[in-house]
Amino acid sequence: MAEESKPDEVSRRIEAPAARIFEILANPQRHIEFDGSDMLRGAIFDRPISGVGDTFAMKMNRLGHDYLMLNHVVEFEPDRRIFWEPAPGEIPPAGGEPVAAAPPAGYRWGYILTPDGNDVTVVTEVFDYGTASEEIRQRVRESGGWATRITASLEMLEEICTQ
């Protein structure tokens, strides 16, 4: 069984209302604009996330390898929280909606928005190891964790929201 790990999380105070920030977070097409990992290549479809149970597919690249992730939305509270669990995905040979090529890996990404005065929001981005395998945990440890990538994402998100 995988050991318990504390989630990697970073917070940033952004001078923008939670509704504006959430609108950007709930639009997978916009995720590439604030990707601090430099792994995203784009969303497959142009539709916003509207609730728990939605899925969205992202084209990804890591170490020169292109792949697809199918993200299952597991928490959705407008203007407050959004979390998803990634799973390897693929597009069927006949085309159409992406499908999972394997079950979710046991970890999740998300954002918590906390209003902090008039039109100011504390945004916390979270990488939660959850029940991820030891192999995934080791890869994250070897890459130096996600805190620097999360910090970069939040800096870019702030630029978008305050323009």
- List the domain boundaries for the chain: 8-162
Inter-axis angle of helices 18-25 and 147-162, to 10 degrees? 120
The one-digit pLDDT tens for each residue of the chain (163 residues) are 445 567 888 999 999 999 999 999 999 999 999 999 899 999 998 899 999 999 999 999 988 889 999 999 999 999 999 999 999 988 877 777 888 888 888 899 999 999 998 999 999 999 888 888 888 777 777 766 678 889 999 999 999 999 8
List the one residue out of 25, 153, 40 whose CA is nearest residue 83: 25
Q: What is the pTM of this model?
A: 0.89
8-162 is classed CATH 3.30.450.20: no
Q: How far is CA 160 from CA 83, 88, 92, 96, in A?
A: 20, 29, 34, 32
